[in-house]
Structure 1
Amino acid sequence: MTLPETVLPGDSLADSRPGAQWWRTAVIYQIYPRSFADASGDGVGDLPGVTEHLDDLRTLGVDAIWLSPFQRSPQKDAGYDVSDYCDVDPLFGTLPDFDDLIEAAHARGIRIIADLVPNHSSDQHVWFQQALAAAPGSPERARYIFRDGKGADGELPPNNWDSVFGGPAWTRVVEPDGTPGQWYLHLFDTSQPDFDWSNPEVHEEFRRILRFWLDRGVDGFRVDVAHGLVKAEGLPDYSPDPESGSMGGDEANVPYWGQEGVHEIYRDWNKLLAEYDGDRALCAEAWLPTVDMTALWVRPDEMHQAFNFAYLETEWDAAALRDVVDESLRAYPAVGAPSTWVLSNHDVVRHASRLALTAENPQGHGIGPDSPGQPDPVLGLRRARAASAVMLALPGSAYIYQGEELGLPEVIHLPGEARQDPTWFRTDGERYGRDGCRVPIPWHATAPAYGFSPTGQSWLPQPEEWESLARDVQAADPASTLSLYRTLLAARREHRLGAGTLEWLDGYGDDVLAFRNGDVTVIANLGEAPVELPTADLIAASEPVTGGILPTDTTVWLRPA
């Protein structure tokens, strides 16, 4: 693989000067490794597959890559169950493969953010295996949350908490002597026991893990379940609203989400990252009820970014979007942080489908063939393109989930026997889970597995519609979603929109979002009536615009004529 002629080693799409804090304006591309590109031919994506496609990402115009977990794991939850935090799972390659990826990405000016899972480990982690073999009250068990059960013989769990994936959040162990014993907490699958972050040994172990990857050159970490590490003292009973999102983003005062003690952990990590050159960054996955609460994670001595899930979850409504943008641009800068913007990731229904749903769909539930409110794919894609054009014009940092630049919809008609999300199994099929947004993406229309794998294997089945959405087809079509993203990202960089300032423009009606960022005017029509555009030069449009009239569900970028 050779470097693009226009790129010099060390060049970067985001400002790379010392102290420039590249993460404030970066466009970060999320790669779900098992579904991005398979170089080995086993049907599962891998790190060499990512390396092979770095030039595609450079051409797209992203500044950094966030890699979902690639560390050693039994893959009970697609790698979010880590058994060895300082090694690459053979499914994805080797440590030398990771080093090659880092070197090749940095040569193209692309930074690498690694996923870190500190709330829980795999039950195959050596620590948990030691805990099972040890006695109650032992130092080995103190690394996790083990408790005696209630009832005459400890036959009842310590409290009533439910798992995010459905079912109880406690599992009882069999002690080494064969008798029923203590219970351990797992907010997710039974194979994912929660660490006890009141234990200093856990803190020290994660400092070691951070240094291991920082020494290898990673530019930052996306921290999984960043709001869940600390649990309320005494582990009080709690019953969530059954209609709320599974990660707690709709409710306050949850005893296992958003506890005050988490902030001390990230202050410690902030100091550790500051020892390294290059503005290393921490990004929080923190599902919290308000923007103001989320902003607490990015105070100057804590994390550098937090995903803006309030924005992601906002419906396709001009007033609602304007409110969340206003709140975000107030709350995050108030603590010295940039706002982030995101529309899709590996845990939510892809926005090319979500924006056309007509029924409630709580985060984590997914959609399948029997779900109510099935999306109109044409309407969904139109709104997705318009929404992306709004998002990429906002000041701050933006996240793109692999495949959204192709306009990929959620894969709804996955057969039950193909599904692999723990949510599907733990709810006996009541919730479809997240497999629909994780289907391997298409690269070449006529190749085996649409170019995902040379053998035609794919760990989740790909739908026939992937042929028309393949990257090679879209690259040759100036009207494609891929071409739209390339145009938007190039213009975002040229006009420095990430470092800009938003100014709302009035006079376009209640169903229109209109704002100016620098010398770029953005107008998005979310209503049913067409909107007259001002006289200006067109930079980009999510749909064709003729006669100076902006159709419904369409966004344009303009500059003075």
Structure 2
Amino acid sequence: MTQKNLAPTPTTPPTPSGTDEWWRQAVIYQIYVRSFADSDGDGIGDLRGARQRLPYLAELGVDAVWLTPFYASPQADGGYDVADYRAVDPLFGDLQDADDLVREAHRLGLRVIVDIVPNHTSDRHAWFREALAAGPGSRARARYHFRPGRGTNGELPPNDWESVFGGPAWTRTANPDGTPGEWYLHLFAPEQPDLDWDDPEVRAEFESVLRFWLDLGVDGFRIDVAHGMVKAPGLPDIGRKEQAKLIGAQVLPFFDQDGVHEIHRSWRRLLDSYPGNRIGVAEAWAPTSERLALYVRPDELHQAFNFQFLTCAWGAAPMREVIDASLAATHSVGAPTTWVLSNHDVVRHATRYGGGERGTRRARAAALLMLALPGSAYVYQGEELGLPEVVDLPDEVRQDPAFFRGDGQDGTRDGCRVPLPWSGEEAPYGFGPGSGAGGSWLPQPAEWRTLSVEAQSGDPRSTLELYRSALALRRALPGLGAGEMTWLAAPEGVLAFSRPGFVCTLNTLPEEVELTVPGRPVLATAALEFHGGAARLPAETCVWWEV
């Protein structure tokens, strides 16, 4: 059921510094709601907890927050199976809590981006329940992809598409009389039936949903599976197995179809009709930087996640190649480039980069590289604490649906979703109130006591203070944020580039290198040594210089 409309009077979004197009240089912090902060001690993060911790984010120095889905949902896929797009799930609070969070964020100068999930609904959504009850050929089924099966008695799926989570992308229904019926498409879990965006009711409903949240005051939407809303006519076979490995490598009949762009153009017109520069951000997997840039043409969305940067291997050559390709592609359409190192779907980069001391060292250096590049940056909750992936969660606590299906994604997304450590010596480290008897929905490692916000605050060597310093400098130095960059000559294994009044140098090698001092060092991920006009950069270290 939809919760009562608040008839809100939205707060005014914060005034950006330097440009009305705030998204071109914003640092946006991703809040995975169930793992950020718990206000009531049930072990699950919620909207009230997130609101209470907003001052921490304002002090950290970010410009906006992005909240993962908090809508009414059976939680078959962490809330990305939405049963009601206009209601808050009781697990996370209510609509008043959402309104309060937006207002408090704006008071602190933070903008708020919320997730929207338009590719699929929950199988508990009223539309899908109506479709099952109505039967084949009904108007209700036209909102989804229902098809008769192949084979003598329709016992085979309509095509060979595979779920991203593993297994067939089709599930067979039962007719109202109990006999075997049609199949429905779900590119993710069976509990997430795909909508058919050729249906005008689907398009009208989502325009209404967007208006609902824009009227409440949100500053934009992160569009889940923005590349998947349109399927190729006829739903053709792909002709091979392990299709999940092709995502982001080639155009597929269910992903990155050209028809998605007309939808995003219509959404852009809707966003532009509201005051305050509301934005759309595409979660889009595309095979090339050029195809990704199509999502951020001047009349489409404002940003698209740069997964090529996220998946780039450690090293000067591959990093430079990805940076060049990313900047060239977005420059061609006049859009900002986005940079991201981690999110709620991938192994945390401190672990991806090798784990342990080496992974932490590389993660710190990569953070300074990311924050020095032209454009907008995304920070996933906990990366500012240097949190590693939790790789030893017991099977009985896991909730990632891919873990249970087994032949699609690796099924290890729970490891990057473990709740944050805030304070104290014992779990749940201040995640919830009181003695913490409720614990946390995923267990936190004992060693996280040294990585909590409390433990790192005030320690100049900590990753938290590194992020605080970097974000403060990013705002203070006029050459950072949006703008241009120029590569500088550097030894093999070293990246060096200049921006107005600023130079960034990154040593990706496992040994120290010597460089000519380009200016005054203002921030470094490790201690430097100087002699004459040269500086010795330790292994896997990044340095910011003011020129």
Measure how far apart 1:528 and its partner are. 3.0
- The residue aligned with 2:540 is 553
SS in 1 for 2:455: helix
Alignment match, 1:333 = 331
Q: Does 2:214 correspond to 1:214?
A: yes
* CA spacing shift, 1:48–1:239, aligned 2, 3 Å: farther
Alignment of 1:356-367 (within 5 A): 356=354
Q: Secondary structure at the match of 1:549?
A: strand
| Equivalent residues in 2 for 1:115-264, closer than 5 Å | 115-239=115-239, 242=242, 245=245, 248-250=247-249, 252-264=250-262
Is residue 529 of structure 2 the alignment partner of residue 543 of structure 1?
no
Query: For residues 145 and 282 of structure 2, what CA distance do their matches in structure 1 show?
Result: 23
From 438, 441, 444, the counterpart of 2:420:
441
Q: Is the contact made by 2:164 and 2:408 (CA closer than 8 Å) also made in structure 1? A: no
d(CA) in 1 for partners of 2:82, 2:468: 35
Using the TM superposition, give the Cα deviation of residue 153 of structure 1 relative to its aligned residue in structure 2, in angstroms.
1.0
What amino acid maps onto 1:468 in structure 2?
Answer: T
Q: CA deviation at 1:16?
A: 7.6
Distance 1:129 1:243 in 2: 29
Identical-residue share of aligned pairs (%):
57
1:477 aligns with 2:459: yes
User: Amino acid of the residue matched to residue 557 of structure 1?
Assistant: W
Q: Give 1:396-411 correspondences, 5 Å limit.
A: 396-411=375-390
Residue number in structure 2 paired with 1:518: 500
Aligned partners of 1:11 and 1:108 also within 8 Å: no
Pair 335,241 (structure 1): closer, same or farther in 2 beyond 3 Å: farther
Hey, what's the Cα distance between the residues in 2 that align with 1:253 and 1:55? 42
1:447: Cα distance to partner? 5.5
2:167–2:407 Cα contact (<8 Å) kept: no
Pair 1:460 & 2:442 matched: yes
Contact kept, 8 Å, 1:13 with 1:61, in 2: the verdict is no
Measured in 2, the distance between the counterparts of 1:11 and 1:224 equals 23
Between the aligned partners of 1:424 and 1:461, the Cα distance in structure 2 is 17
The CA distance in 2 between the partners of 1:150 and 1:11, in whole Å, is: 53
Go from structure 1 to structure 2 and tell me whether the alpha carbon gap of 1:133 and 1:11 turns closer, same or farther (over 3 Å shift): closer
Partner residue of 1:69? 69
Mark the runs of 5 or more structure 1 residues left unpaired by the alignment.
1-8, 357-375
SS in 1 for 2:23: helix
Q: Give the Cα separation in 1 of the matches to 2:494 and 2:12.
A: 41
Instruction: Please state how far the C-alpha of 1:461 moved relative to its aligned partner.
Output: 0.8
- Is 1:169–1:186's contact at 8 Å kept on the other side of the alignment? yes
Mapped to 2, the partners of 1:79 and 1:16 lie a distance apart of 36
Cα deviations by residue, 1:358-387 (Å, 9 ceiling, x for unpaired): xxxxxxxxxxxxxxxxxx411111100000
Partner of 1:530: 512
TM-score in terms of structure 1 length: 0.92
**C-alpha deviation, 1:477, in angstroms:** 0.8
Instruction: Tell me the distance in 2 between the aligned counterparts of 1:11 and 1:216.
Output: 11
Is the Cα–Cα contact under 8 Å of residues 13 and 276 in structure 2 kept in the other structure? no
Question: What is the DSSP-based 3-state SS (H/G/I as helix, E as strand, rest coil) of the residue aligned with 2:498?
Answer: strand
* Alpha-carbon offset, residue 432 of structure 1: 3.4
Partners of 2:241 and 2:356 lie apart in 1 by 31
Inter-partner Cα distance in structure 2 for 1:429 and 1:95:
35
Q: How far apart, CA to CA, are the structure 2 residues paired with 1:386 and 1:459?
A: 31
The separation in 2 between residues aligned to 1:24 and 1:239, in whole angstroms, is 41
The alpha-carbon distance between structure 1 residues 91 and 16, as it changes in their structure 2 partners (threshold 3 A), is: farther
Q: Which amino acid aligns with 1:381?
A: T
Correspondence for 2:289 among 288, 291, 298: 291
- Cα deviation, 1:80-131, whole Å, max 9, x if unaligned, reads 0000000111000010001110010000110000000000000000000000
Distance 1:278 1:11, change over 3 A: closer
Q: Residues 480-516 of structure 1, C-alpha deviation per residue, up to 9 Å, x if partnerless?
A: 000000111111111131123111110x212000001
Change (3 A) 1:137 1:244: closer
Q: In structure 2, give the amino acid aligned to 1:212.
A: F
